[in-house]
A and B are shown apart, each in its own frame.
Chain A
Amino acid sequence: MLNRLLTALAFSFLVGAFALPAAAQSPAAGGADTPVDTREVRAWLTRMHDAAGHRNFQGIFVVNAGGTVSSARIAHFCVGAEQFERIDSLDGQMRQVFRHNDIVHTLWPQSRVAMVERRDLLTTFPALLQSGSDHIADFYDVRSQGSERVAARDALVLLLRPKDGLRYGYRLWADRITGLLLRAEVLGEHGEVLEAAAFSDLTIGGRAQPDSVLAPMSKLDGYRVMRPSLTPVRLEAEGWSLRQPVPGFEPVGCVRRTLSRPGEVDAGATPQVLQAIYSDGLATVSIFIEPHDPNRHTRGVQASVGATQTLMRRAGASWVTIVGDVPASTLRQFSAALEYKK
């Protein structure tokens, strides 16, 4: 009996200390917990994505990841097919991000450094959704968990539980009226919250003010401007391939690029790397490949920040870094499948 009791105690500890499975997997008190069918899943996720692109909204967004809480003021405007966005970081060093469609300016006003990038090389999520093969419902079990109030708005709660151990779960709060994502949690394999992001204050549907984005983008006088180069390439053409695909993850793009640290101006010091990006529609994995440099690449590394895992290792004459919002074991599958033949 004592044995049994102690076993019960041990399991209770496990449940209480690490797991929180009940928190993640049982419905909120009084909320419905009903499966959502494939078509509806697609409809909701598409709505969330569209709302992020096509609505005017302004608010404060708070991200809690890796033990750090950071917040930013975000304003998004839409005029016809054109999108404008402005993000001001509210914590740490001042940083501003201005986006007009695919062109993104990141400014560090104190050090007078600006980074100008184009982000049109990868069309990911909508393409995956529209390709007809509905991966999200194949790899995630989607349930509706009723509604909750977030940022003073009525939100529909969706729980996406992975069907295998290759990805994390998500709990998403979507605005019932517009579909805009109000809050998101990334859930670990035991249902623990690895990362959370939410609007704490939000106005949807205000007047568009594109000038508040365009004016600062046209005034880069006095800034040292960095333009990281990104060239689309094919992974296979570079001699690399995945021996066998990791279930659910499809290639969504591959570029040859420089890896500049934000604010780092000396482009000569930044090596060229290959970046191949894979996505299952929700989670993304990047594989970086560069020549092995014995001075900088001394030994393998595995790191974890919030929901983002990193794996670094040597592969022959190359140095491979795999970063993804997935469990570390998934990164190891990518690592094991990656091969060079030339």
Chain B
Amino acid sequence: MRSASDGQAQPLQDLSALADGEVDAAAAARACAHWRTDPLARSSWHAYHLIGDVLRSDELASDAVADAGFLGALRLRLADEPAVVAPRPIDAAAVSIDDNGAPAARATGRSWMLPAALAASLMAVATVLVVTRGTGPEAEATLARARPDGGGIAAPRGEVLQDAPTLVADGKLIRDARLDRYLAAHSQFGGSSALGVPSGFLRAATTQAPDR
């Protein structure tokens, strides 16, 4: 998203660069401060990510219903979370019904949710920044972080075959031993073609299930 037009205001350019992980610490701090104060910046920030997501995968664009579901669930969970900031005591006036017909006490809940959401969002930004730099000495750490489930397996999201259980290897061996022989036979040729001997051939040699 470097292609952001030159006529764009500098703060927005910073924000765009931040979304791409292409800024230094000072610019990141500047962009975050701007994000905090300017509603326009926040909506731009959202738009940048949306654009990025759509560019990367059409699925992310089409699935508005899933997004809404996710948001709904997230909101419910957030509402259930104990407040980390002690809320003000609810006074008698606050229990009255507000414009939307919902008890105004809810609004008290939102008053901490906003900063919490803000902090969480910035934390997510920090994660992305760290990860973006991951080709240096911390590459291994990046690799580990790329798998939040710790299992080291990218589960095929949204790609489940009907009536077929999805098996996922979680360690040295696949649980279903009948897969071993197919994987071994495939890796004899698979990969060895592509990147020359070391990767494919060696992968076959090192990842074949040991004889037991």
Selected from A11, A23, A128, the residue in CB contact (under 8 A) with B146 is: A23
B113 in contact (CB, < 8 A): yes
Per the 8 Å Cβ criterion, residues 191-216 of A in contact with B are 191-194, 196-197, 199
Selected from B39, B147, B202, B208, the residue in CB contact (under 8 A) with A262 is: B208
Per the 8 Å Cβ criterion, residues 182-212 of B in contact with A are 182-199, 201-203, 205-212
Per the 8 Å Cβ criterion, residues 137-163 of B in contact with A are 142-143, 146-148, 151-157, 159-161, 163
Selected from A17, A64, A264, the residue in CB contact (under 8 A) with B143 is: A64
A-B contact count (CB 8 A): 324
A1-20 interface mask toward B, CB cutoff 8 Å, 1 = contact, 0 = none?
Answer: 11011111111111111111
Tell me if A23 and B142 are in contact (CB < 8 A). yes
Q: Contacts A17-B148, A61-B206, A284-B189 hold; do A303 and B211 have CB atoms under 8 A apart? A: no
B166-187 interface mask toward A, CB cutoff 8 Å, 1 = contact, 0 = none?
Answer: 1111111010111111111111
Q: Classify chain A: how many residues form its interface, as a range.
A: 35 or more
Per the 8 Å Cβ criterion, residues 213-256 of A in contact with B are 252-253
Instruction: Report whether over half of chain A's contact residues are helix, strand or loop; otherwise say mixed.
Output: mixed
Tell me if A303 and B166 are in contact (CB < 8 A). yes
Q: Contacts A67-B151, A196-B143 hold; do A16 and B128 have CB atoms under 8 A apart? A: yes
Tell me if B202 and A301 are in contact (CB < 8 A). no
Q: Contacts A4-B43, A190-B57, A191-B56 hold; do A95 and B210 have CB atoms under 8 A apart? A: yes
User: Could you jot down 28 A-B contacts, CB within 8 Å?
Assistant: A6-B74, A11-B50, A13-B124, A14-B53, A15-B128, A16-B125, A17-B148, A25-B56, A26-B22, A48-B196, A63-B207, A87-B205, A92-B172, A99-B201, A122-B193, A172-B195, A181-B196, A270-B181, A284-B190, A288-B185, A301-B176, A303-B168, A303-B174, A303-B179, A304-B156, A305-B153, A305-B168, A306-B169
| Residues of chain A having any CB pair with chain B under 8 Å | 1-2, 4-23, 25-26, 28-29, 48-49, 51-53, 61, 63-68, 70-72, 74, 76, 85, 87, 89, 91-93, 95, 97, 99, 106, 108, 111, 113, 117, 119, 122, 124-125, 128, 148, 157, 170, 172, 180-181, 184, 188-194, 196-197, 199, 252-253, 257, 259-264, 270, 275, 277, 279, 281-286, 288, 296, 299-306, 308-313, 321, 323-325, 327-329, 332
